[in-house]
Structure 1
Amino acid sequence: MLYKTYIRPHLEYSVQAWCPYLKKDIIMMEKVQRRATKLIPSIRHLSYPKRLQEMKLYSLEQRRLRGDLIETFKVMKGLEGITSTKLFTLNTQRHRGRGHNYKLYKSALKKGLNCRKNFFSIRAISEWNNLPETVVEAKTTNQFKTQLDKFWCKSVNGYGVKKADA
């Protein structure tokens, strides 16, 4: 409870604007959560993914992805006061019957502009396009979050560990 209240908000502050992409930064931030989960004596002996499961937490990387998808949902539904066309382009050339109606077009990155791959408007597209229609067709943000969590629990155990690894 203390970790969720005092530490995690600092690790996640403004993460959609600043998302760590260097391996060393990701590892450094994940170490904080790893250490905090070891402070609980009853689950100290478990592996990190098992501790996350036990505490019903996501890895910080999974939390960042979840935040990106929630922000994408808000932009696409017009809940952020940002015109979605300023950040995203709907993929009009998708095949009928495949996926949902909110598939986004991901343009190829030009050589030398590799840094763009870490921009919010680029990094969220692939994961957004992989979501099922039941998730992206949600009416409210809370409904979207619930549907996303259910979808992740079916594909992975919801805590960053694939079911085969659990």
Structure 2
Amino acid sequence: MSITLKKKPSLYEYNIQGEVLHRAKEHDYLGVTISDDLSWTAHCKKTTAKASRTLGMLRRTLSPCSKEVKTRAYLSLVRPQLEYGSEAWNPCTKTDINRIEQVQRQAARFVHCDYRRTTKVTPLVQALEWDTLHHKRMLNQATTFYKIQFNLVYIQLPSYLQISTTASRTQHGFNYQQPSSNVDVYGYSYYPRAVCIWNKLPISAVSVPSAEMFKTAALPAIREMRTPPTLKSL
């Protein structure tokens, strides 16, 4: 697989013992689909297809069950598939974001046993007090950054990330300079995106002594975050 953003890339043949290797546009690595253009569309499609099949199985087998049983089944068997590895991947396009959210919206109909076209799904999701999967991915990425920041995992921050030297009332003392990019592939990759979320968190979240406490403190702030006009998504 040749990773490039060029419209007409220079492609070369690779071979092992005279056998030409098949060229792939995407490949699964540790459960995450990597595409040759570094977009997350292929991964989102595979993830939602798998989660939808699991949700379909639950609808066929748990239809007579209570809301509590259906909710537990969704949270135990379906949503982990939609969140797996989201510390590393997170789509920025509305199409991919909505594609993933659609599975949870269908799950809300399943739990409420309400498949009427006239029923709005958003109130169903809110009644269940489910956070959007987009907010969950933001929290997962921010939590990983917290662990890196305070040496709770064996990952070092890249050298180009520097603590911000400008003072502001909205900063919490652990702010980093936002990496800039003219290319979405980098601008929405893990570190630029995680820094953007991290810098918006309050001091009460980033100064807690454990990752679990961080999740509890950071989630309300992440729910209130709004995407700046210059960005596709946070």
- TM-score category (smaller protein): 0.7 to 0.9
In the TM superposition, what whole-angstrom CA distance separates every residue of 1:89-132 from its partner, at most 9, and x where no partner exists? 211x22165421110111221x4x33201211011222211111
Give the match's secondary structure for 1:67: helix
Letter in 1 for 2:166: R
The one-letter amino acid paired with 2:96 is: D
- Structure 1 distance, partners of 2:114, 2:139, is 25
Pick from 192, 215, 218 the counterpart of residue 145 of structure 1: 215
Identity value in percent: 22
- Under a length normalisation based on structure 1, what TM-score does the superposition of the two structures give? 0.79
Correspondent of 1:108 among 154, 163, 180: 180
Residue-pair matches, total: 152
Matched, 1:28 2:86: no
Distance in structure 2 (CA, Å) of the matches to 1:51 and 1:87: 44
3-state secondary structure, aligned to 1:124: helix
Residue 81 in structure 1 maps to residue 154 in structure 2: yes
Say which structure is richer in strand.
Answer: 2
Is 1:72 the counterpart of 2:142 in the alignment? no
Please report how far the alpha carbon of residue 86 of structure 1 lies from its aligned counterpart in structure 2 after TM superposition. Answer: 4.6
Of Structure 1 and Structure 2, which has the larger fraction of its residues in helix?
1
**1: CA distance between counterparts of 2:171 and 2:162?**
16
Once the 2 structures are TM-superposed, how far is the Cα of residue 151 of structure 1 from its aligned partner?
A: 3.8
Is the aligned partner of 1:59 residue 2:132?
Answer: yes
- Whichever of the two has the greater Rg, that structure is 2
Contact 1:117 1:123 in 2 (8 A): yes
Deviation of the 1:18 alpha carbon: 2.2
Contact 1:78 1:84 in 2 (8 A): no
Correspondence for 1:7 = 78
Q: Which has the higher contact order (CA 8 A, sep 6+)?
A: 1
The two structures have a TM-score, normalised by structure 2, of 0.58
Q: How far apart, in 2, do the equivalents of 1:75 and 1:116 lie? A: 20
Cα distance per residue 1:119-146 (max 9 Å; x no partner): 1101122221111111100100011111
